[in-house]
Amino acid sequence: MTYATTTITKKYHDAIEEWQKHNFPELEILTRHWDEYFRGVPEFQLLAKVGDVKTEDIEFGQYAGRKRFEQAKEMVGNAFFSARDIVRAQCSTELGSIQQHRLTLDRAVSDKAKFAVLRIMAEELRHAYQMFWVLDQDPTWKKPGLGDVAKQTIEELLSMELGGHVLDAFNIDFNDFLDNVTYATVIDLVGKYQLDMQQVFSYAPMARSMGPMLQEEAFHLGSGRKLLKEISQMAARGEGDYSIEDVQRAMNLWYPRGLEMFGNEHGGETAVTFGFKDKTNGTAQAEYVEEVRGVVRNVNVAIVQERIPNASREEAHSLIDDIERSRDPKRGIKAEDLIAVPDASFFRKRGPEEVIFKPYAVRGELLTEGGTPLTPDAYLQYLSTVLPAKFIGSREYDKYVAQMREYLANN
């Protein structure tokens, strides 16, 4: 795609470079070895890319048919703050993911995998820079009585540490490289949906940012899927550092947080009304669920073909269907030898009232004892058997426990 490039005010450009030196010093290693791993791909540059939009008119919501808003001051009332909140959340995800990926970067399964993650981190840094541009290029984010909203937001974002980001998925510490891979597979996929929906954004600078970001997001998704498949194939052969159970536990951790990144599946009408997105939360989430299922099915086909080398893809699909339907072993392959997508009710802390903090199992059944839903302590014991061992007792796990107990005490 075609796009123009630009930079932000020097003080903010210098500020994000300073943030990079503290949070992503490995960028220098990536740039030094770029051509070894990404020959033919333009070298990384820290700048904003301003793309085209399909139409200059607002496409959805109450202002459909009007020209897109070029200045923040044109958005009135809640729309102004809602737009700010979306920019803030988007930028927070980019900065948080860099801090997360760095924790386990040196545990990569290969040099090629390590440099794939380094490139992902670099592009996430550029996406954060892009959100700074959305705020910095428009002086009307500064309004009487509100102060300089852009300055306040940028300074807040630069001060965020793990544990203090906007969305829960970006506060979980990575414990091994399987986190990097599963995260790129299911969390970055949510990012793709958000960027795609926001191409219609009624605030023009945000809409013009989405195309270039989407183009780069494709590498993140492709890297995650490829590595997840490779790790699962190695596990099927009894090789590598991770087992199929490890992969499943990682999926059990990250997928529920991915679902919650869409917001409550019964909501999202306000974003459509303001012309910020073209789909409600539930519609986008349902599409995401189907795509994750397709990704996991592809991994499972690869697992079956590792276990049964002469099996065709069609035979593998048929065998997987049989196992999922009956839960009985087929040709020496058990249900536990395959990866399952957790049910949407499992391990939820945000969303519809009927699922949050309820003791649902990975497969979606309500866990009971004597006909009564499991107590919080009993459910936490269950979670310890299906989530990564290193997550249990972590900061975000303890936060979940505290939030669960408080919620159940008040409801």
Task: Give domain status of residue 89, yes or no.
Answer: yes
Decide which of 255, 274, 298 is a domain's last residue: 298
CA distance 60 to 68: 11
CA distance 220 to 216: 7
Residues 386 and 281 in one domain: no
Residues 34 and 158 in one domain: yes
Decide which of 298, 317, 338 is a domain's last residue: 298
Q: Does pLDDT of 125 surpass 90?
A: yes
Model confidence at 94, in pLDDT bands (50, 70, 90)? very high
Residues 253 and 388 in one domain: no
State phi, psi for 361 to the nearest 5 degrees. Answer: -80, 170
Q: What's the pLDDT score for residue 1?
A: 73
CA distance 34 to 339: 34
CA distance 80 to 231: 45
Residue 1 CB-density burial (10 A; 0-12 exposed, 13-18 middle, 19+ buried): exposed
Q: Which distant-in-sequence residues (6+ apart) come within 8 Å of 15 by Cβ?
A: 154, 158
Domain with 234 in it: what CATH number? Answer: 1.10.620.20
Task: Give domain status of residue 367, yes or no.
Answer: yes
Residues 59 and 193 in one domain: yes
Q: What is the mean pLDDT of residues 236-254?
A: 98
Q: What is the domain count for the chain?
A: 2
Residues 120 and 266 in one domain: yes
Residues 28 and 122 in one domain: yes
Model confidence at 64, in pLDDT bands (50, 70, 90)? very high
Residue 101 CB-density burial (10 A; 0-12 exposed, 13-18 middle, 19+ buried): buried
Task: Give domain status of residue 333, yes or no.
Answer: no
Residues 291 and 358 in one domain: no
pLDDT in tens, 23-35: 999 999 999 999 9
Residues 136 and 256 in one domain: yes
Residues 290 and 379 in one domain: no
pLDDT in tens, 365-400: 999 999 999 999 999 999 999 999 999 999 999 999
In contact, 48 and 133? CB cutoff 8 Å: yes
Q: Tokens 């791993």 appear where? A: 37
**Residue-range definition of the domain harbouring residue 120:** 3-298
According to DSSP, residue 141 is labeled G
Q: What's the pLDDT score for residue 299?
A: 98
Decide which of 255, 283, 298 is a domain's last residue: 298
